Structure 1
Amino acid sequence: MACENPKDCCGGSCLQNKLPKRSQDVVERVENEPVWMTSHGNDASDDNDDPNKCDKHARGVCCRELKGEDERDLWIDPDTVSDLVIGLSDGLAVPPALVAGLAGLGDSKLVILGGLSEVLAGSISMGLGGFLSSEAEMNHFKYLRRVTRQRVARSCAGEMEREVHDVLGAVGVSQELSNGVAAQLSQLEPPAPPQPPSFLRSLAIKFGRKPTPLPTTNLRWSDEHGLTAFLLKYGENVEEVPTSKLIKSALTVGMGYALGGMWPLLPFFFIEEAHEAFRVSILVTGLVLFMFGVLKQHFTGGTGGVGGYLYGGVSMVAVGGLAAGSAYGLVKAFDTRE
């Protein structure tokens, strides 16, 4: 919304209707104070020199402290949230389905043994899947970086300027400024890696005498700078996967699966009759599914408010209930006992 009064603006947006109550009190106090007591007096230059202080619009309210109604702090790393959602989702859907199927046989010990075996095997399998997935992503990035760097090294005049402008021009940067950015990035571009040797040549190098490596004293080049890094990050939308993510992803997915899979088994440890324990397990699993859906909706940046959180919880209960109900019905359909 355009501002009729420039004093209401901060970064081109009108803040007249967005100030919190506490900020409005500060605004009224600042307007009633003399000029020499406000931040626009002799202390303005000191505020501008301090990097820890944020910019303030004409009413004296810090722009950085203004937040929207549904703005929240997503303090968990998005990759961790994604791995945790994958593990917990499967853990709260697959083991309950198995428990539901085994509960139809009427033996709590069989449910516990089968459930624990499935949770253990599923946790290991999911953890290995997270590790291999991150490893494949890391290898894919290394391949793209090597190919892109070789393409940049053999590109003809003007080609890199056009590719840089394809990225920056989409957000409104002029051709002249894009050419300047391309020239600056080309000066920081590391040299292209040599072509990989053939299979026989690689064996000869591996088992032959290794040459003495040359000392690397030039620290100017970096994989994070230059045209290749720019084209990968902003053109291909891929980033380097750190090695630590492999172990982190494996542990997060595996532990998430184990944590989700243990909830439906808990009632069977305390209730001997399987059918009664299964009824309690349904309530426990449904409650955990609902709470997990609400937390997932919050920490993944989904629609907030009562409606958004209710949708996240109900959708998780529906998915888990469908899986568990299908397994229970299948076992009952093939159960031929009298």
Structure 2
Amino acid sequence: MNRKIIIYYLILIVLFFISIYQIVVFQFTKLGIWAFLSEIWAILTLILFVWSKKDFTGKSWFTIKKKEKIYSFEENNSFNEEDYISALPELNIKEKQAYISLTKLCCSAEIQGKIIPFLEKLKDFSSDKEDYMSTLNYVTEFLDIHNIFFIMPLDLNQDVETLEWRITTSLQNNFQDSVELPSISNYQKKTVSFDNVFEDYDTPLLQAGYQMGFIDTESDEYIIVIHKVSDKEKIEKLIDIIGYNYFDTQTDRRLLKPRYPFIIKYKFNSIKFIFSLVILILCPAFTFVVYTGFLKEGLSFIVIFIAIINFLFYYLSIYFIYDTLRLYIGNRSKTNA
């Protein structure tokens, strides 16, 4: 049982016992709407929590067997994934050619021979909302699996040593060249998102006629491409064709800073969104419960416990609503582009 499922059941048990407590002490008198909600807040939350089990754990309470065939990546990953991908529409010729042209500008002839046959059969993943999410993600996964240092993703918390390794290997494999980079000893406790890290590593590249280009995916990672300075305009146009903006260490330094430093990769899901919205709406009622309990019982265990739960629900509901909408709008804009 993974950690997410364990946390779900622990919260479920806590809500269950609080609900029992509320049922036992419930007073059958004429109550206003806010007073009524404050009396049964845990019961409502428990119902929503039980209803949303699949969204939190990935499993329903009851498994319903369907007659029609469904894809199961667990049973036969290679076969089913191949069938799934083959059913996707072909990527339009313009985008496909842009990927191929990028390869010709940034990779050696030997590596082009490995990538171009893959790109010629590339599918359009813009409608895939569960696995790869975008065509670019599918391409970068293929490159990583085959140890091809071309379009290279870096997490914002990635160590600087990995950045150096990717730059060095890309230069060697794609351009049969090497450049003396800054000493890694100066960046032992830093990540790539620290101030001036990319600038420091890009400076010697620029002096040698190369540079780092960035594909702006508006996410919690950097995607870099090592290319010749003389090819910058061509690279920028090609990246625009595949649906993204290009930037580098000279054009806009603000884009080198992580815009969402504490992102949880949260796919848009209507049930999760509604659940968070309902919790946010009920938060004033939760606060009323804490206040009423404090007046009656003082700082008892149950009052402190409910106060902590209330604060967590309030904070997380706001965060998830914001992050869900941001990612959803971002994905919609990329799809429309």
TM-score bracket relative to the smaller structure: under 0.3
- TM-score of the superposition, structure 2-length normalised? 0.20
Give the structure with higher Rg (CA).
Answer: 1
Q: Greater relative contact order (Cα 8 A, min sep 6): structure 1 or 2?
A: 1
Q: What TM-score do the two structures reach when normalised by structure 1?
A: 0.20
Greater per-residue helix proportion: 1
